[in-house]
Amino acid sequence: MSKKVTWVHILDDFNTVALDFLRPFRFPLAVIGALVNAFHVLVLSRKSMRSNCINIIMIGIGICDFSLPYSYTYLMVDASFQIAESLLRRLSAYLAVLMATVRVLVVKNPLNAKFDSLSTPMFAIKSIILLTLLSAINDAFYYGPSHFESDDMPVKPPARCGYGENFTAIVLVRTFNIIFYENFYQQVYSKIKPHY
């Protein structure tokens, strides 16, 4: 047990040092990663590459790996990006597991006609749609009951912003129905947790 704790501490310390070291390089690395990812998706999207199930799943993973960058409209757009980021990050992991599973099944059963359908592009497209819907279920329970409301504290912008002296803005705050969210997941956990 102590050996595991020691390794966890060593890895945690290494992670902290590595993050501090890479802090000034984060933006350039992110730009390089986004460009390489865009090139990857572009190559895989060519007609000759879209004939393979694995390549279509890799296109889905590449699209999911793009990072999506105070009025009501701004809050709605920001909320849309948050939901998309949450959904796509989870979907990327689902697609990676699907791709590994398809590869194993096809390689282990090369002569079995039952597994031929796994190699078709249509299987990949249907799988991506199904996994997207499954990934969206979690977000639906969290973001669905949320809404924007005023905190009843009008804010006066600084004079340098150029608004009139009597101008104030209403601040909208997003609220989540945490009670519903927590109760729902507690009920799910109580149903599926192992009983010893």
- Do 140 and 76 lie in one domain? The reply is yes
- Do 57 and 36 lie in one domain? The reply is yes
Give average pLDDT by consecutive 10-residue segment, the chain, 196 residues: 60 74 74 83 86 86 69 67 85 90 87 82 91 84 69 69 68 65 59 52
Specify which residues 155 forms β-bridges with: 169
> What's residue 5's pLDDT?
59
Alpha carbons 194 and 76: distance in angstroms, whole number: 40
- Do 172 and 153 lie in one domain? The reply is yes
- Do 163 and 136 lie in one domain? The reply is no
Counting the structural domains of the chain, the total is 3
> What's residue 71's pLDDT?
56
- Do 79 and 138 lie in one domain? The reply is yes
> What's residue 1's pLDDT?
45
- Do 107 and 50 lie in one domain? The reply is no
Domain boundary among 40, 68, 96: 68
3-state secondary structure 116-155: HHHHCHHHHHHHHHHHHHHHHHHHHHHHCCCEEEECCCCE
- Do 190 and 139 lie in one domain? The reply is no
> What's residue 194's pLDDT?
53
Contact (Cβ atoms closer than 8 angstroms) between residue 151 and residue 169: no
- Do 161 and 131 lie in one domain? The reply is no
Contact (Cβ atoms closer than 8 angstroms) between residue 71 and residue 77: no
Burial of 84: CB neighbours in 10 Å, binned 0-12, 13-18, 19+: middle
Letter string b/e over residues 156-176, b meaning 16 or more CB atoms within 10 A of that residue's CB:
eeeeeeeeeeeeeeeebeeee
- Find tokens 């729902």 and name the residue: 184
- Do 33 and 46 lie in one domain? The reply is yes
Residues in Cβ contact with 28 at an 8 Å cutoff, skipping those fewer than 6 apart: none
- Do 120 and 155 lie in one domain? The reply is no
> What's residue 69's pLDDT?
44
- Do 59 and 101 lie in one domain? The reply is no
> What's residue 31's pLDDT?
76
Specify which residues 166 forms β-bridges with: none
Please give the residue range of the domain that contains residue 163.
146-195
Domain boundary among 14, 47, 68: 68
**DSSP character for 111?**
T
